[in-house]
Structure formats: C-alpha cells, structure tokens
Amino acid sequence: MAAQREWFEKDYYAVLGVPKDAPAKDITKAYRRLARQFHPDANPGDSAAEERFKEISAAYDVLGDDTKRAEYDEVRRMGPMGGFGAGGPGGFDFDMSGDGLNDILSQMFGGAARNAGFGNGPRRGQDMVTSITLSFNDAAFGTTTVVPGTDAKVRIPAGVDSGQRIRLKGKGRPGRNGGPAGDLFVECNVVPHRMFGREGTNLLVKVPVSFTEAALGATVAVPTLEGGDVSLRLKPGTQSGSRHRVKGHGVGAEGKRGDLIVTVEVAVPDALSDDERRAVEELARVLRSPRGEETRSK
C-alpha cells in the first residue's frame, strides 16, 4: 500500500471531521460533503483546495473500507509501542509502501503478521476512490469522460445521480508480487439545473399559467431537457400546485426513461391595466368565494 507511513502520523478521522466510533454512513456523508467543497473543479487554480481534496480522498480510501479501517485502527493503536513513531529505533526509516510495513507488523505481532495476510505472496492492489463533477445534462443522458487526475476513461450511464459510484476494474493501485491491480471507484457529483429537478428517473419542472388558462383549461407548452417543448393539456379547473405527467421525457436510457413531472403554478399579475382591473372586478362580483358566502359577505 502506498503512503502507509501516514497511518502512524495522520488522523484520518480528524481529516473527515468524524469521531473514531463514527458509523460508516456518517463517514461517507462527511466525505461527500468535503469532496464537493474542495473538489478541484469547484476550486480552479486553488492549490490548497487541491491538496485538501487529496487528503480527504486518502482518508476516505481507508476509512470507507471496513477491512482497511480495522487495519488502520489496529496500526494506530499499536504504533506508539516500542518507540515507533516518525522513525524507528536507531533512526530506522520505515518503508511503509512495501515490506517495511510487513517488517513492523512482524515485530509487533511476531510471525503471525505474515500468516495473517501480510506476507510476500501475490497481493491485490488497493482500491481507490475519487469523484467527478457532472453537468445535469451529462448525468441525465450519459457521457464518456476522463477521470480527473488520471488517463482512465469512464462511461457515465444515463440517469446517474449524485452519490452513485462507478467501478473501473483494475484501475486502482497496482498489485504486489504479481497480484492484480485494485479497482477505481468514481463517485458522481451532479451540478443542479436552474430549471429542472430530479426525482429518481423523473424530471421535475414548474410551469406558470394564467388564471384563465387554469380555470377554462388550455394547452400549454412545457420545456424539456432535450430542448424544445412538449404540449400539455390542462383540464378546466386545474389547481395551482397540481402535478401532471408527460410520459417518456425523464432521464435514463431509451426504453427505461422516466417521465417529466409538471407542477402548475397559477401566476397572479403584480400590476393591472385599467381594463384588466375592471375585468377582474367584474369577475369578482360573479365568482363564488372559495371561503363560502358567509366569509365573502364580511
């Protein structure tokens, strides 16, 4: 494993801002929050943010894996024994990226360390976790892009959402002694859209309509994420806040696409012309009050 020396010196729990007994879901939640905050795409040209992002990723690489976390906790617990710290007895500099860790564990636990999976046989490489920021449209329709900081390409399936991970087999850290490479897990962060929202594979959009369109019924144009509009027929008496479904205009692969959910919002004008005011006043005289006649007469 690379950079294992940090296990003696770096408090990964502090890096993620969680207690040592934090459940896995809290660790993942903290990682996602910090990764979004310090991701290089969100902080272009900020070297400090980039270093912080690397530190956060390294911490989650260990604490996000139950096996590695258990090993980390044990090594941290045993580290101070025998004067082990930044350097070993007599100034020995531990090589924590390879057999140095095996030697230390052997000294701590005797030969049992090698028999417990720290020997010189083939060892699978460590898995890695990184994140990628996607536009709303790329997440909805899918794309192929390069993972930041690598030359690995990743295919983003249509309909991916924030927090979902894509596994790239064999793109993690290299194995040792002929062992296979680990995997690279790419966590997706989707940038919000100014007009559309997501609810699973369904897209959400709000459409303003006039009072007369809602009261009398109308056919209104509804924008779609693909571009262009679709027609939606409103029945007479459509209420503000009501939701209407347009089939097949959500996100996801063809044949598995969700729907477009349209929320109608009845728009009230903030200013009226004289003719409009007279028309509304006349309407008020003939319309029934939704609060009942008793309330209307007061």
Query: For residue 151, with 0-12 CB atoms within 10 Å meaning exposed, 13-18 middle and 19 or more buried, which class applies?
Result: exposed
Q: Are strands 128-134 and 184-190 parallel, antiparallel or unpaired?
A: parallel
Q: How many domains does the chain have?
A: 2
pLDDT band at 79 (very low <50, low <70, confident <90, very high): low
Residue 223's H or E segment, with its range, is strand 218-223
Q: Domain with 19 in it: what CATH number? A: 1.10.287.110
Average pLDDT value for the chain: 80
CB distance 60 to 132 below 8 Å: no
Which candidate, 129, 115, 100, places its Cα nearest to that of 4? 100
Q: Is the dihedral of CA 74, 80, 86, 92 positive or negative?
A: negative
pTM over 0.85: no
Q: Domain with 229 in it: what CATH number? A: 2.60.260.20
* Residue 17 and residue 113 in one domain: yes
110 domain-assigned = yes
259 domain-assigned = yes
- Using the 3D structure, point to which of 101, 120, 139 is the last residue of a domain: 120
173 domain-assigned = no
Q: Give the model confidence (pLDDT) of 99-129 as tens digits.
A: 434 443 444 444 444 444 445 678 888 888 8
* Residue 13 and residue 111 in one domain: yes
Range of the domain at 38: 6-120
Average pLDDT estimate for 2-14: 68
* Residue 13 and residue 108 in one domain: yes
Strand ranges across the sheet with 184-190: 128-134, 184-190, 165-168
163 domain-assigned = no
13-48 b/e (C-beta count within 10 Å ≥ 16 → b): bebbebeeebeeeebbebbbebbbebbbeeeeeeee
